[in-house]
Amino acid sequence: LPLYPQYSCSTSAAIWDAVAYSLMGYRCLPSISFIRDYAAHPAYIAALSASVAHAFVRHGRPDRLVLSFHGIPQRYAEEGDDYPQRCDVTRQALAAALDYPAEQVLMTFQSRFGRDHWLLPATDETMKNLPSQGVNRVQVICPGFAADCLETLEEIQVQNREIFEHAGGGEFHYIPALNDDAAHVEMLRQLVIAELR
């Protein structure tokens, strides 16, 4: 069970490649079940929805809820990687589960590097542009991360907050990843149990 909610050739498929490589010398292979992703699993969406609802209670309802996913080079998508579609499946399911206007739920992509064209819209550019569109309060969640890391805590919570505030934005709140939340752990248990049946 790779802990990447949305499939990509750069993440889940790379895990599969590593598993296959490690088994190359075996004469007697074990049975293997591989969970490709869980982008719209009801328990995953429920856990995300509860996390967002908690943030709304704590910080108030924002002008925009931004779902920032890790980016991939655009050419991966052009070559058949359905990662952008899997991210949008999560966005649509989460927007439908929330008591919040779906048109105010934005999907962006973070962590661009190198010379390739990456998926758009970019999170940092979005943060730079939102204040000029009258958006003063944002909350950002990174549904592609099962646990918080440098990319969520530094890139989003620190750097993108600074970009938003420097551009004239007001309140910026990062909604933590699901991490070890009981609903997240229960969702992972459900995925494994369903695979074993």
**pTM for the whole thing?**
0.95
- The answer as to whether 29 is a domain residue is no
- The answer as to whether 18 is a domain residue is no
Spans in the chain with pLDDT lower than 50: none
Q: Which long-range contacts (CB under 8 A, 24 or more apart) does 163-169 make?
A: 163/124, 163/127, 163/128, 164/127, 164/128, 164/130, 164/131, 164/138, 167/127, 167/128, 167/129, 167/130, 167/131, 167/132, 168/131, 168/132, 169/127, 169/130, 169/131, 169/135, 169/136, 169/137, 169/138
- The answer as to whether 28 is a domain residue is no
What total of structural domains would you count in the chain? 1
- The answer as to whether 176 is a domain residue is yes
pLDDT tens, position by position, 135-168:
999 999 999 999 999 999 999 999 999 999 999 9
The domain spanning residue 121 has which CATH number?
A: 3.40.50.1400
Q: What per-residue confidence (pLDDT) applies to 118?
A: 97
Q: Structural domain of residue 127, as residue ranges?
A: 39-196
